[in-house]
Structure formats: C-alpha cells, structure tokens
Amino acid sequence: MSAVLPLPSCGPKTSLLTPKAWTGVFAALIVVIVLAPILNLMVPADSAFHLSDYAIGLAGKIMCYAICALAMDLIWGYTGILSLGHGVFFALGGYAMGMYLMRQIGRDGNYQSDLPDFMVFLDWKTLPWHWSLSNSFIATLALVVLVPGLLAFVFGFFAFRSRIKGVYFSIITQALTYAAMLLFFRNETGFGGNNGFTDFKRILGTPIATPSMRMLLFVLTGLTLIGFFLLARWLVRSKYGRVLQAIRDAETRVMFTGYDPLRYKLSIWVISAVMCGIAGALYVPQVGIINPGEMSPAASIEIAIWAAVGGRGSLIGPIVGAFFVNGAKSWFTQAFPEFWLYFLGALFIAVTLFLPQGIVGLVRKLSGKAKTEETEA
Amino acid sequence: MTPELMEAGLLAHKAMEGRSGAGKSGGREVSYGRVHEPGQLDLTHGAILYLDDITVSFDGFKALNALSLSISAGELRCIIGPNGAGKTTMMDVITGKTRPDLGKAFFGSTIDLLRLRENEIASIGIGRKFQKPTVFEHLTVFENLELALKADRGVRSSMFFRLSGEQLDRVGSMLTLIHLQSSAQRVAGMLSHGQKQWLEIGMLLMQDPKLLLLDEPVAGMTDEETERTAELFLSLEGNHSLVVVEHDMKFVGELTQNGKNGKKVTVLHEGSVLAEGLLSDVQANEKVVEVYLGR
C-alpha cells in the first residue's frame, strides 16, 4: 500500500531544490562571482554597463541584511518565535571584526600609538583584557561565531527552559539588545563608546578601501548568503525543520509526542544568532563603521520587518524583503528623507493587513500556485 | 556453585554497581531475585498505572482530592463524571503537565511519573489525546504521522533522519487504519473535526505507547465514526492499555458492551473516585444517580 503513496521529501533521492530553484541559485552565483566583478572592475567607468562602487557597496550591505532576515525567518517564520533583539547578535559579530580592524590600524592612527585612538584619548596605557585576542584574524573569526552563539545559548537556555513564549519572549529580546546597547555606549567598557569603531585602514595587512578589496568582500558576502540559503533550505526540509514547524503550530503536542522543544528551539535560536553574527562581521569592513546604534531596538525591529515584507515561512521571501525594503530606503532617504519612516510604517501595516505571506506570497498567488507550494519552499 | 556461575554473578554485580537507580526503585526496595532496569516498564505486579492519594489544588480549590486509581496492564478503562470532576486534571498529572501537591503516580511498578517531564513521559510510552484535537495544522497528514513515528527524538538524528522502507510501511498501514489514505498529502488544517480526531489517534498509535490516555476521543464525530472508533479501541486492548475519559454514555456503552465484556467503569466526582465497577452496576448506584441528576 505504501507504493501508491506519492511521498514528499523522504525518499533518499529527492533533491534539495527544484530544478528551477537550482537555476536561480546558479544564476545568483554567476552574478555574484562573475558578472558583478567584471562590470565593476573591468568595464570602464564611462560605459553604460559599468557598475558603480556605490552600487557594489550598497548591494554588499544589503546582502548582509538579507542574511539577518533569513536568520530571522528560521526562528520567526518556521519556529514561531519572534525575536526583536537579533540586532545584538549582528552587532556582536560586527564588534568582534571591528576590534580586529582597529588593531590592524597599527600606528597609523591620529595619535601614532599602538593602542586604538579612543583608548589614547581616554588615557589608557594598556589594552583591556577582552582585546587580547583581537590581533589574530583566526581568533577573530572564531569570536565572530562564538560570542553571538554563546550569548544566544545562555539567554535562550534560560528563556526557553522557563517556557517564556510569544510576546513576552519578544519583549525580553528587546530588553536584551537595549541593555547591550547601553553597555557598549559606555566608554569604560572599552568598545569605543558612542562613536564605536571606524577609520579602518587594513584587513590582513592589505588596504581595505581599494576597489578590489571591496569586490572581494562583496563576493564573500554573496557566497555566504547563498551558502546560508542552502543550509537553511536543508534544515527546514529535514525532519528537524518539520519539528520546528510543529512547535510553531502546537508546542504541547510536540511535547506529548516525546520531543523536547527546548533542544529544538535552542538549537535553531543559536544557529540563527550565529548567522546574524557572521553577517555583522561581513558588514563592518564594507561599511567601515560599527557603533552601538546597531543594537538599538529599532534596528532589530527592522530585521523583522524585512522578513515580514518579503514573506515569512518561505526562504526566498526574507531575502527579497531585505532587498526591497533597503532598496526603497536608500532611494527614499535621498529623494524624500523626512518621509522614510512614515513609508516604512505604512508598508509594515499594509503587509500585515493585506499580505500575510509577504511579497513572495503575493507573487505566488498571482501565479496561481499559492497553496500547493506553501509548505514546500 | 560452578566457576562459570560465580563469574556471571560477579559480572552482574559489577554491572549493577554503576547504576544510580539500582536499589532504590522509586523509593522502595527492589524485590529479591529481580534486577531493576531503570527506565524499563515493569509490569510484574500487573498494574500499568498506579495513582495513590493524588491531590491537586488551584487556589484552594481541590481539583483532585486524594484520588487513587489503578489500571491493569492491557485493560480498557472508561472514566466518566460530571463537569469539573477532575478528569482532565488527572490526565495532566499523569502526563506531567501538572504537578500534584500530594500523592504518588507510578507507571508500571518502578517508574515514578512525578519525576519526569512531559516529553520524557511520552517517550517511555504514555500517549495522550487532547479534548480539542491537536494536530500540526500546517504539515500534511503524512508528515504529522512521520513526526509521531517512534524514532530517536534528538536534534541531530532529526536533521539526518530518513524514513526506512519499514517505517514507510508503518505510516502507510496507519493511514489505512485511520481511513486517511486519500488525504495523506493534504494539509492537516484542512481536515474535518472528526478526521483530525482520527489523525491524532493515529499519531498516538505511531508512538507505540503502552498506555493511551484519551480525553473525549469521539467529540464531534458522526455516529458512524464513533462506532468505528469504538471498534478500533477494542481492537487495541490487550497490547495497549487504554484510559478513556468520556461524556458520551452511548460510546461508553459501546466500549463496555453495556457491561457484558466485564470492563470496568470509574466514576469521578469532586476529584475522587465515587464508584467503580461494571457499567450496569455503576448506573444503578444511588450516589452516581444523585451526582448526575443532582437530586
């Protein structure tokens, strides 16, 4: 009788993506690692096909945001846990990278000291203890993963073990990122106070502000985004992903089926936080600054808006959302700077009321297959 | 005593020493000549579920008042009682959702239910169906059953899980049993109320529980569905023990064949057992009639 069952996602030969989606992934790969470099570096600046440095910088930045939106989708769209504090993980990854970049300045700062400028300004004579690993790039890469991961693990363990759910959890995550912001604002914590870190000169000994370095960071960010997309796809298509969705739909039933929701929630929470941390580490060298503003509650709420606008519960949705909202933002803030926040608020309300599946849901509905694919992508 | 026997005894002794649970099975002594395996269901005393003197109070109101109940292995027991008699609270205590203020709850004769969490209780073999059917609405019927299938519940093994042919057959035969073959790929949220009830029962059976707790399993079912459910439950008896909490006296009548198959019915009232016996005897009981009709 099992032979007649058309079975989804359980045969050993089912592919991770549909052929059409694989084509999309390869197209994205080609754009990121071939097309963009050629159009930016090889095509002369006066040609119509030239991609400006500004465009590359903007796209690189938005791809970092897209990673955050994807991470948000895993925890919110698939597991039903709304985090309004993901900015803290993004910022921690960014600060870990920023500390390394500060040390790379060496004696080229304003005060020609071994110490970062802000420490000289504060009249500090030695590096604080938490800067001791900042000279090593390898250690920095480890910290980019470990610091957000550890914070998420400890915070998540206690929150999920106490069965804090729904809006209460969201509020606590807001408090978490706000508390972290206040901590980083203070000069004596050794993170550069409200100015944060900036004025970076080098990464791995090579100048940071060259076109080729900018392109390298862009390509790395693009590859990370595509890699995380495939990882997320693999996660949500496994039985693990179905348990996450089951937790979203009926957590008590999951419990009485013998699963420990704590482990599932905690694992996806940490994975999501680490993704944000890595996005932050890629963001800082491209944007050239990191300050506590990234930990403001509003920054975290924006991540949730990208995911909601693009479409929760589908993986391509949050990426589309991040590009759409941030593309609109960079246009608006030039054309009508004072109206941007009104537009963002109106957009969020409109999406919540009329497009619960976001842009991706709208496109699917228009192409007439909204229902059948809902659970697939 | 031969040297081989002595050696075997020594090995057994060494194996015992490392076990934390050995020698204090739920606070009592292990009986002579029997090794207590921690986490193993021990049915040698005949009872699969044993509640003793359970008291639960919410803000002074006693939802359960010194409730004592014992279910034999393989038994099908119906529990009836007016609203607020403590039926659902009793289920909550057994499945770890509510911790009682007083009393003991044992699964088999060695597993102390009051020390375990919900998911651990489910893993050792107690399945529970809720009053309101609870299925995973956004997953398909097939996926609902797949998640309930007895398998390693850990995170890593879920990530790398693949259905084996044998497991696929189990899901397939369960779909047939609960009459949902044709809906296998439908999203569970689209099912009718009765179908959801069946799906939830199917999910329970996929876990292969030793004891099933069913809270009003036929609420919202048509007469035909109710009849089929009664047949299903009666066919499960023997391999599984069932506790059915029910309002529908017709269904209780079907399950116990109005007392002809010797199945006992327990009447709860104000948090403790009011009467226990064959359905016909219970229905003739003065106190029960009084409670139900409010005389």
User: In chain A, what are the domain boundaries?
Assistant: 25-373
Report chain A residues whose CB lies below 8 A from the CB of B117: 260
Asked if the Cβ–Cβ distance from B155 to A263 is below 8 Å, we say yes
Closest CA of chain B from A235, distance in Å: 7
Range name among A12-21, A154-163, B105-114, B177-186 with the lowest pLDDT average: A12-21
Q: pLDDT-based confidence at A375, cuts 50/70/90?
A: very low
Strands B126-129 and B111-112: unpaired
Range name among A25-34, A134-143, A312-321, B242-251 with the lowest pLDDT average: B242-251
Q: pLDDT tens digits for A183-230? A: 999 998 999 999 999 999 999 989 998 999 999 999 999 999 999 999
pLDDT of residue B93: 93
pLDDT of residue A305: 94
Mean pLDDT of A233-247: 95
Chain B residue nearest residue A254, CA to CA = B119
Q: pLDDT tens digits for A76-109? A: 999 999 999 999 999 999 999 999 999 999 898 8
Asked if the Cβ–Cβ distance from A6 to B185 is below 8 Å, we say yes
Beta-carbon neighbour count of residue A78 at 10 Å?
Answer: 23
Q: Give the closest residue to B144 by CA, choosing from A315, A249, A269, A78.
A: A249
Burial class of residue A346 (count of CB atoms within 10 Å of its CB; 0-12, 13-18, 19+) = exposed
Tokens for B94? 């057994």
Mean pLDDT of B120-146: 92
User: Residues 6 or more apart from B205 whose CB is under 8 A from it?
Assistant: B127, B174, B177, B212, B236
Mean pLDDT of B95-115: 91
DSSP string, A69-129: HHHHIIIIIIT----S-HHHHHHHHHHHHHHHHHHHTTT-STT--SS-HHHHHTT--S--G
Report chain A residues whose CB lies below 8 A from the CB of B136: 242, 245-246, 249-250, 253
Range name among A136-150, A256-270, A362-376 with the lowest pLDDT average: A362-376
pLDDT of residue B19: 63
Report chain A residues whose CB lies below 8 A from the CB of B152: none
Domains of chain B: 1-38 (no CATH), 76-88+118-293 (3.40.50.300)
Asked if the Cβ–Cβ distance from B169 to A242 is below 8 Å, we say no
Q: pLDDT-based confidence at A155, cuts 50/70/90?
A: very high
Judged against a pLDDT cut of 80, whether residue B37 lies above it is answered with no
Q: What is the 3-state secondary structure (H, E, C) of chain B?
A: CCHHHHHHHHHHHHHHHCCCCCCCECCECCCCCCCCCCCCCCCCCCEEEEEEEEEEEECCEEEEEEEEEEEECCCEEEEECCCCCCHHHHHHHHCCCCCCCEEEEEECCCEEHHHCCHHHHHHCCEEEECCCCCCCCCCEHHHHHHHHCCCCCCHHHHHCCCCCHHHHHHHHHHHHHCCCHHHCCCEHHHCCHHHHHHHHHHHHHHCCCCEEEEECCCCCCCHHHHHHHHHHHHHHECCEEEEEECCCHHHHHHHHHHHCCCCEEEEEECCEEEEEEEHHHHHHCHHHHHHHHCC
Global pTM value: 0.87
pLDDT of residue B36: 65
DSSP string, A50-80: PPPHHHHHHHHHHHHHHHHHHHHIIIIIIT-
Tokens for A139? 């250690």
pLDDT of residue A296: 95
Mean pLDDT of B124-139: 91
Asked if the Cβ–Cβ distance from A258 to B185 is below 8 Å, we say no
pLDDT of residue A322: 96
Question: ipTM score of the complex?
Answer: 0.84
Mean pLDDT of A147-175: 96
Asked if the Cβ–Cβ distance from B119 to A256 is below 8 Å, we say yes
Q: pLDDT tens digits for B201-251? A: 999 999 989 999 999 888 878 888 888 888 888 888 878 899 999 877 888
Report chain A residues whose CB lies below 8 A from the CB of B148: 257
Please tell me the distance from the alpha carbon of residue B209 to that of residue B220, in angstroms, as a whole number: 24
Judged against a pLDDT cut of 60, whether residue A2 lies above it is answered with no
Judged against a pLDDT cut of 90, whether residue A265 lies above it is answered with yes
Q: pLDDT tens digits for B38-52? A: 667 777 777 899 999
Chain A with chain B: Cβ pairs closer than 8 A: 115
Contact at 8 Å (CB) between A93 and A276?
yes
Mean pLDDT, chain B, as a whole number? 85
Asked if the Cβ–Cβ distance from A257 to B148 is below 8 Å, we say yes
Report chain A residues whose CB lies below 8 A from the CB of B190: none
- Interface residues of A toward B, Cβ cutoff 8 Å, are 1-2, 5-8, 10, 12, 235, 238-240, 242-243, 245-246, 248-250, 252-261, 263-264, 267, 374-375
pLDDT of residue B85: 85
Chain B residue nearest residue A8, CA to CA = B185
pLDDT of residue A7: 47
Report chain B residues whose CB lies below 8 A from the CB of A243: 147, 158
Chain B residue nearest residue A373, CA to CA = B187
